[in-house]
Amino acid sequence: MIATLGAVRRKRFGRRTRTASPNPEPTPVAVGRATLIDARPLEGPPAVWLREADCEAEALAGLAVINSVLQRQRIVAADPAAHGIAPTQALALRVGVGVGEEVASGRWSSATEVILGAGRRRREAVLSPQERLAAVLSGRDVILACEELTLRARADVDAGRWREAALQLDCALRAAIAELASWAGQGDLDERIALLAEASKQAADAAQTALIGGLSADQIESLGKSLQTLEAALRARVAIAR
């Protein structure tokens, strides 16, 4: 169930531009709320289930379903700018229980707000991209084409879109082998490039299979490992560039 809350986008008529205030007030924005209603019967009283449930896992599983709907909407609308919702982008994640009329309106009898794990490791993960962004903007580092392709492959793998992941990873690996050659001889990149070459052969076979149908369990497992190998090689390249 999808609802829009808060401010409604204002319709503007007449001139396409107008004078802007030097100290404008924040522009009100609409907030979307997506409610995934699971019709499974609860194991025990609702309050007990909610207290004992792994709410973080439930919230992330629900978000994955919502993202699968958004991905289909992106395709049918032919909108390349549309995207899914990362857990950290959600204003709030809640897991709750309620009766039919409540949940049909996006409400609940009782709910728990999920706060995703935070701490030093998360803070370090945030700071590292900031440091690299500064390096990229100053010209001390570059963004490789294979990095974008790898992110797309990761999104497909995380969403369980294995055919798309196979095709995407095939491109990402071939691009990485070519681009990382510029850093050959530095650190352990020669060894990593050799591993990527081996992974590329397996990914190419999986991509050919993906063109005509689904992948086997072994191919799916191989894709996951190959993607991890590629991601590790890219992290190693970034470490060298620093």
Alpha-carbon gap, residue 76 to 70, rounded angstroms: 10
pLDDT in the model for residue 126: 47
> To the nearest whole number, what is the mean pLDDT of the chain?
87
* Residue 55 CB contacts under 8 Å (≥ 6 apart), including other chains: 95, 112, 114
Residue finishing a domain among 113, 129, 158: 113
Q: What is the mean pLDDT of residues 148-166?
A: 95
Q: Decide which of 3 and 202 is more confident.
A: 202
CA-nearest of 183, 223, 217, 181 to 199 is 223
The domain tally of the chain equals 2
Q: Count of CB atoms within 10 A of residue 200's CB? A: 20
Tokens coding 6: 């808060």
Please measure the distance between the N-terminal and C-terminal CA atoms of the chain and give it in whole angstroms: 47
**Domain extent for 171:** 142-241
Contact (CB, 8 A) for 183 and 240: yes
H/E stretch holding 34 reads strand 30-34
- Digit-coded pLDDT (tens) for 168-208: 999 999 999 999 999 999 999 999 999 999 999 999 999 99
37 in helix, strand or coil? coil
185 and 103 assigned to the same domain: no
**Among the ranges given (52-56, 89-93, 101-105), the one the predictor scored with the smallest mean pLDDT:** 101-105
Residue finishing a domain among 113, 133, 154: 113
pLDDT-based confidence at 137, cuts 50/70/90?
very high
How deeply is 176 buried, as exposed, middle or buried, from its count of CB atoms within 10 A (0-12, 13-18, 19+)?
buried
- Digit-coded pLDDT (tens) for 84-98: 888 888 888 999 988
pTM value is 0.78
148 and 189 assigned to the same domain: yes
CA-nearest of 143, 144, 170 to 156 is 170
How far out from the chain centre does Cα 15 lie?
A: 39
118 falls within a domain? no
57 falls within a domain? yes
Alpha-carbon gap, residue 74 to 53, rounded angstroms: 32
Alpha-carbon gap, residue 239 to 242, rounded angstroms: 5
197 falls within a domain? yes
HSE-CB for 57 with a 13 A CA cutoff: 4
Largest CA distance in the chain: 65
CATH number where 233 lies: 1.20.120
pLDDT-based confidence at 129, cuts 50/70/90?
confident
